[in-house]
Amino acid sequence: MRPMIRITAVMSVALALAACDQTGSAEVERALDGVNVIDETNLSQIMLTSADPDEAVAYFRRSSAENPDRIDLRRGLASSLVRAGQYTQGVATWREVVASDEATDEDRVEYAGALIRTNDWDAAEAQLDTVPPTHETYQRYRLEAMVADSNREWTRADSFYETAVGLTTTPAGVLNNWGYSKLTRGDHAAAERLFAEAIRYDPDLFTAKNNLVLARASRGQYTLPLVEMTQVERAQLLHTMALAAIRRGDVDIGRGLLEDAIDTNPQHFEAAVQALRTLEAQG
């Protein structure tokens, strides 16, 4: 009986060791899974913010296909498609995301933004209407302001723009949009103030510089504003001012500004040259 007892004891020890190995392996696997989740989260964040938009689309499309139940990957794909300028596909993917039980209010806001990209203002407004008032974010109010603008609801638009500005530390873009809204309403003084404020927040925002020149030229001010600009930007702004002058009927001033733009640009300025030729051909 002793040998049998010895064999049984050995087998018991072996089985116990095997169980320990299996338990240890399971614990290692769980630990590695945790590391993989962290790494994947970091990679997803990089893809959403820093990666080439087309590379991000490829990454999230592949990852979503491999993990069809992961809404975070579908969300990443939708955002990447919009960022890559593939707005129609972006809208379709956001539609799938918001149809999920795991959808958030922020998902619905992003979906509304994608709808605006495709010029579907009614659908965007309907989507924003599903977001509760307690969801107070910069993106939500920025889009609400744009929708109000499209409906010519100026008081609501101003209120939303003002709220959006207060909810971000980088308001240059929304200030530029607000300024353009004021410009379309004919409130040139307010538009100029908002464009100038946008430039103070972001001196590299050329769109705001261009809009500021438009606002000034629309009331006959044909001098460049005192803002930081490169030589190329200066030439482009002179070109913008020239076209605005011509539209106002100040043809001679416009011709002179086009000549200045051509002389200022360090390279060949085809658009200004073409505009000047057209003007001269008309006599």
pLDDT at residue 230 above 90? yes
The pLDDT score that the predictor gives to residue 152 is 95
Identify the pLDDT of residue 188: 92
Residue 183 identity (one-letter amino acid) = L
Q: Decide: residue 15, CB within 10 A, 0-12 exposed, 13-18 middle, 19+ buried.
A: exposed
* Stretch 144-165: mean pLDDT: 96
Read off the pLDDT of each residue in 30-58 and give the average, rounded to a whole number: 65
Contact 173, 198 (CB under 8 A): yes
The alpha carbon torsion through 132, 135, 139, 140 (nearest 10 deg) reads 20
**Could you report the per-residue pLDDT of 107-122, keeping only the tens digit for each?**
999 999 999 999 999 9
Residue scoring higher pLDDT (93 or 6): 93
* Confidence band for 14, pLDDT divided at 50, 70 and 90: very low
Task: Domain ranges for the chain, please list them.
Answer: 47-109, 230-283
Of residues 101, 181, 103, the one with CA closest to residue 148: 181
Question: What span, in angstroms and rounded, lies between the C-alpha atoms of 171 and 156?
Answer: 18
Decide which of 144 and 53 is more confident: 144
Tens-place pLDDT, residues 24-35: 555 545 444 444
Q: Which of these ranges, 4-8, 181-185, 198-202, 272-276, has the smallest mean pLDDT?
A: 4-8
pLDDT tier at 8, thresholds 50, 70, 90: very low
| Helix, strand, or coil (residue 120) | coil
69: helix, coil or strand?
coil
| Average pLDDT, integer, range 12-32 | 47
